[in-house]
């Protein structure tokens, strides 16, 4: 979308950074995948992580995979907008690409955890923080235990983290309840002023 004369539009809603957060298992990745499928113009930041790639994951697509020393360098040089440690691995958002796309007026979406969302609130207070909530605690437990991809101790850590994250809902600007992926996507795109 370009304004007359070839310059990006000056609509502040389009230039606003949208942060999507919520507990593990709530469906953030599913919502983001649907948005990217239907609206590829929405730019999703690719996070950096110290964890090993899972089968099928590609460097630069799902994540940028780095070792601990590389992650330490990114922190020391101020190259991360936010970062957090979870389940023994670190995850972060590269600062440069986010700032470049916001400067061009592009719709930018970050899918990050609570700790990261709080850091973004500190460094970019104009960002809109959106909390994705489950329909119920029981449904969240079902989703987390139904994956069958993680050992019980990891699931228990995720459930413990989910309790903390659900309690932080009031820190966010907007809450969307994930009862249906298409409905949530529509609401999120409306917030981002993407048509």
Distance CA 185, CA 48 (A): 25
Determine, yes or no, domain membership for 4.
no
- Give CA separation, 152 vs 27, 29, 78, 90, 141, in Å: 20, 22, 36, 21, 12
Determine, yes or no, domain membership for 150.
yes
Looking at residue 147, what is its pLDDT? 64
Looking at residue 161, what is its pLDDT? 86
DSSP 71-83: HHHHHHTT-EEEE
Q: Are 185 and 35 in contact (CB under 8 A)?
A: yes
Distance CA 195, CA 152 (A): 42
Distance CA 17, CA 125 (A): 10
Looking at residue 158, what is its pLDDT? 82
Determine, yes or no, domain membership for 99.
yes
Determine, yes or no, domain membership for 3.
no
Domain of residue 176: give its range. 12-191
Determine, yes or no, domain membership for 6.
no
Domain count, the chain: 1
Determine, yes or no, domain membership for 107.
yes
Q: Cβ contacts of residue 150 below 8 Å, gap of 6+?
A: 158
Q: One digit per residue, pLDDT tens: the chain, 195 residues?
A: 333 333 344 444 445 799 999 998 899 989 999 998 999 888 999 999 999 999 999 999 889 999 999 999 999 999 999 998 877 899 999 999 999 999 988 889 999 989 899 999 998 998 999 999 999 999 998 888 876 677 888 888 888 988 999 999 999 999 999 999 999 999 999 998 875
Q: Are 131 and 169 in contact (CB under 8 A)?
A: yes
Determine, yes or no, domain membership for 2.
no
CATH number, domain of 146, equals 3.40.50.300
> At 147, is the secondary structure helix, strand, or coil?
coil
């Amino acid at each position: 979308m370009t304004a007359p004369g070839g310059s990006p539009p000056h609509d502040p809603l389009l230039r606003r950074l949208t942060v999507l957060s919520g507990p593990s298992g709530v469906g953030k990745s599913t919502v983001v995948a649907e948005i990217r499928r239907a609206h590829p113009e929405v730019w999703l930041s690719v996070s950096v992580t110290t964890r090993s790639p899972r089968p099928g994951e590609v460097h630069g697509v799902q994540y940028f995979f780095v070792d601990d020393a590389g992650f330490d360098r990114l922190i020391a040089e101020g190259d991360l907008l936010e970062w957090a440690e979870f389940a023994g691995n670190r995850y972060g958002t590269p600062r440069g690409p986010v700032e470049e796309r916001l400067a061009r007026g592009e719709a930018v979406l970050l899918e990050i955890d609570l700790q990261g969302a709080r850091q973004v609130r500190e460094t970019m207070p104009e960002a809109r923080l959106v909390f994705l909530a489950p329909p119920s605690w029981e449904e969240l437990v079902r989703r987390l235990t139904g994956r069958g991809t993680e050992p019980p101790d990891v699931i228990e850590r995720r459930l413990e983290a989910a309790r903390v994250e659900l309690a932080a809902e009031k820190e966010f600007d907007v809450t969307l309840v994930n009862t249906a992926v298409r409905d949530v996507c529509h609401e999120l795109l409306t917030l981002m002023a993407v048509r």
